[in-house]
């Protein structure tokens, strides 16, 4: 993974000093709240219902054990002993004091971490495929480019006061595990016919109030033009994105209102002027950054095969976990492990300080000291020898993070919701917990198969409900919570926005509704290999509407 050099260390230290000065001026009253707010947001500091929230950047979801231990330390020392991993691969603390934050950031800087631009109307954390560098189906590792974009976008003076936030995601395989089509810029790293590296560029995807799928505006952008083309997009957006209405200020609205073709043309005009400037990426720089992401030297561990077979036979729970939570690695002696942060009945995406420390220990001993955060709020150990799976599993059992539910119905994504968030209209976490408990039985989960439930507590869609196979949107109706159900969403390479299927459900009726949907699916699927999403796409919403609302009246809420 990337390692800071002197320049990076100096920058982060200067940033901490800058923020420390800003906090001091705020606390003394010299800096008013409305001038302070965008500055604190650009340092990841939100104000929520109960307290401040600090969002720490985990660049493209990659971190090592030292960093994970620091997160545990911060949780323990400055917060209430836990943190929440998010749908943008970051970490949130829910109870930090503003007066402590400069110290927290100074401590994070010692392990090459920061909270820069995790909020605010600027370029946010560049996310990437959480299996990057390990997946068997990968064409090229997207992370070096995510790192280049991360650096280039850090405290960019022209793009620090955009019309609205800006999110970029990069993927390096045909399977899209980074949901690039619901990002402001989505980059699909690929090779052309000549074997040259470049990107398909998608612009204008997003969820929230008006979910939209990104448009392909460039088939193949050569690698060396990454920064000049991105600058062109950002400049067009900065100048022409709407600033009159917060809900129409994302680039997706600009693409929609201008037309993708016209917007692409405007970008090309700007790009033509930037193409051969100092923004051109020299091959040597790309190679130097890429070198940081070279996979670890993976020794042959052929004994893993035999051992694995034996352990699986001896322990059905372990067998289930391997089947569900371990994915094929480029190297056949290895696997990619998903550490589910969705224990049955637990809070999706949360980890305690002791769990973080234990994961750090496991990563250091068995996983070449590399951990990832997925946008589905789980942790990943991308390089684990099959021969070490049993030890890893036992370690996870000891800390209650061995649920064999990756991608299954209880692997729910939920935003913090009204339990924490000042923007929310309804709670997400208790809904997730109840669904998790109802479907907790492992055999039942296996029978149902892949089913991604995503829950958002408000229209901002931080739970990514629009791209859930089953999406739940919490709304407020007459002072009470109500949940709208959408079906058929997906964030992969065949991105689709879920369809609302009818009037909403009260909190106590939601789980039964999910059960009806699941039973309907089980009743009409071709066979167990036809997953929920595929069955839905085949039959459409009607069977589900009938099951939920009866064939008499099925009106949208």
Partner 1 sequence: MTRIWRETGFVDNDPWVIETEEVKAGEGQKPLLSLEELVTKADESNEVGFGVLIKPADDVRKLEPYLYRLELVAVAFPAFNDGRAFSHASLLRERLGYTNELRAVGDVLIDQVPHMLRCGIDSFAVTNETAIKRLTEKRLPEIPHYYQPTARDAEPGKSYSWRRQAKPAA
Partner 2 sequence: MGDKVLTANRLTDGIAVWLDANGTWVTSLQDALVARHAEAVAALEAIGKKSYADNLVVDVAVVDVQETDGVLWPLRLRERIRAQGPTMEYAPGYKPADPAFIAV
**Residues found near partner 1 in the complex (CB under 8 A):** 5-7, 10-11, 14-15, 18, 21-22, 25, 30-31, 35, 38-39, 121, 148, 151-162, 227, 235, 238-239, 243, 273, 277-282, 285, 288-289
Cβ proximity to partner 2, 25 vs 280, nearer residue: 25
Integer-rounded Cα Rg, in Å, for the chain is 23
Choose the contact partner of 161 out of partner 2, partner 1, none; CB within 5 to 8 A by kind: partner 1
Question: Of 536, 510, 509, whose CA–CA distance to 521 is shortest?
Answer: 536
Q: Which is nearer to partner 1, 243 or 516 (CB)?
A: 243
Q: How far is the CB of 35 from partner 1 (least distance, A)?
A: 6
User: Residue 29 binds what, of partner 1, partner 2, none (CB under 5 to 8 Å, by partner type)?
Assistant: partner 2
- Smaller CB separation from partner 2, 269 or 422: 422
- Identify what 200 binds: partner 1, partner 2, none; CB under 5 to 8 Å per kind: none
Contact (Cβ atoms closer than 8 angstroms) between residue 290 and residue 375: no
Specify burial of residue 306 (Cβ count, 10 A radius: 0-12, 13-18, 19+). Answer: exposed
DSSP SS3 for 284: helix
Shortest approach of partner 2 to residue 95 CB, angstroms? Answer: 8
Q: Classify 270 as helix, strand or coil.
A: helix
Contacted entry of partner 1, partner 2, none for residue 398, CB cut-off 5 to 8 Å set by kind:
none
By a kind-dependent CB cut-off of 5 to 8 A, residue 48 interacts, out of partner 2, partner 1, none, with partner 2
Question: Which lies closer to partner 2 via its Cβ, residue 92 or residue 496?
Answer: 92
DSSP string computed for 108-161? HHTTT-B-TTSSSSSB-PPEE-TTTTTBTTBSS-SHHHHHHHHHHHTT-GGGSS
Cβ distance to partner 1 smaller for residue 88 or 150: 150
Q: How far apart are CA 209 and CA 318, in angstroms?
A: 42
Residues 6+ apart with CB under 8 A from 78: 93, 96, 97, 100, 103, 104
52 binds, among partner 1, partner 2, none (CB under 5 to 8 A by kind): partner 2
38 with 120: CB under 8 angstroms? Answer: yes
For residues 73-91, b (16+ Cβ closer than 10 Å) or e, as one string?
bbbbebbeebbbbbbbbbb
Residue 167 CB, nearest approach to partner 1 (Å): 17
Q: Name which of 86 and 238 has its Cβ closer to partner 1.
A: 238
| Interface residue list for partner 2 (CB under 8 A) | 26-29, 33, 47-52, 80-82, 96-99, 347, 350, 352, 418-420, 422, 424, 427, 429-430, 433, 476, 479-481
**Cα 149 from Cα 369, distance rounded (Å):** 24
Q: Are 53 and 94 in contact (CB under 8 A)?
A: yes
Q: Which does 239 bind (CB under 5 to 8 A by kind): partner 1, partner 2, none?
A: partner 1
C-beta closer to partner 1: residue 159 or 293: 159
């Amino acid at each position: 993974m990337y390692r800071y050099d002197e320049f990076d260390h100096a920058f982060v230290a200067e940033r901490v000093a800058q923020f420390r000065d800003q906090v001091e001026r705020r606390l003394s009253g010299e800096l008013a709240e409305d001038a302070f707010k965008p500055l604190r947001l650009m340092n990841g500091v939100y104000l929520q219902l109960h307290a401040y929230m600090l969002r720490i950047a985990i660049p493209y979801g990659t971190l090592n054990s030292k960093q994970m231990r620091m997160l545990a330390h911060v949780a323990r020392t400055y917060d209430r002993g836990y943190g929440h991993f998010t749908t943008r691969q970051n970490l949130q603390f829910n109870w930090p004091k503003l007066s402590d934050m400069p110290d927290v950031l100074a401590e994070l800087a010692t392990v090459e971490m920061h909270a820069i631009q995790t909020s605010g109307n600027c370029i946010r954390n560049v996310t990437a495929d959480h299996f990057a560098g390990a997946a068997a189906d990968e064409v090229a590792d997207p992370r070096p480019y995510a790192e280049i974009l991360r650096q280039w976008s850090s405290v960019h003076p022209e793009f620090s006061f955009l019309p609205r936030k800006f999110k970029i995601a990069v993927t390096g395989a045909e399977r899209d595990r980074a949901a690039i089509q619901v990002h402001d810029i989505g980059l699909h790293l690929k090779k052309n016919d000549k074997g040259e590296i470049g990107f398909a560029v998608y612009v204008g995807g997003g969820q929230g109030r008006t979910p939209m799928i990104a448009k392909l505006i460039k088939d193949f952008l050569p690698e060396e033009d990454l920064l000049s083309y991105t600058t062109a997009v950002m400049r067009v957006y900065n100048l022409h994105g709407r600033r009159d209405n917060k809900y129409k200020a994302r680039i997706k609205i600009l693409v929609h209102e201008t037309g993708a073709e016209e917007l692409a043309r405007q970008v090309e005009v700007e790009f033509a002027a930037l193409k051969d400037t100092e923004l051109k990426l020299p091959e040597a720089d790309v190679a130097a950054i890429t070198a940081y992401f070279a996979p670890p030297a993976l020794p042959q561990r052929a004994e893993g095969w035999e051992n694995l077979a034996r352990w699986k036979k001896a322990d059905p729970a372990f067998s289930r976990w391997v089947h569900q939570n371990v994915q094929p690695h480029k190297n056949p002696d290895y696997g990619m492990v998903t550490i589910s942060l969705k224990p049955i009945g637990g809070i999706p995406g949360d980890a305690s300080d002791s769990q973080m420390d234990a994961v750090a220990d496991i990563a250091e001993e068995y996983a070449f000291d590399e951990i990832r955060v997925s946008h589905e709020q789980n942790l990943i150990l991308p390089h684990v020898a099959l021969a070490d799976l049993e030890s890893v599993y036992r370690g996870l059992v000891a800390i209650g993070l061995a649920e064999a539910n990756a991608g299954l119905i209880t692997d729910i994504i939920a935003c913090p919701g009204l339990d924490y968030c000042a923007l929310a209209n309804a709670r997400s976490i208790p809904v997730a917990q109840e669904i998790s408990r109802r479907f907790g039985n492992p055999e039942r989960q296996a029978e149902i198969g892949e089913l991604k439930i995503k829950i958002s507590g408000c229209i901002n869609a931080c739970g990514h409900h629009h791209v859930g196979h089953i999406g739940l949107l919490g709304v407020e109706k007459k002072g009470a919570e109500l949940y709208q159900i959408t079906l058929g969403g997906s964030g992969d390479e065949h991105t689709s926005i879920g369809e609302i299927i009818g009037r909403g459900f009260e909190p106590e009726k939601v789980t039964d509704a999910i059960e009806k949907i699941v039973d309907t699916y089980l009743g009409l699927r071709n066979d167990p290999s036809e997953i929920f999403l595929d069955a839905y796409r085949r039959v459409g919403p009607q069977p589900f509407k009938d099951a939920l609302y009866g064939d008499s009246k099925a009106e949208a809420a």
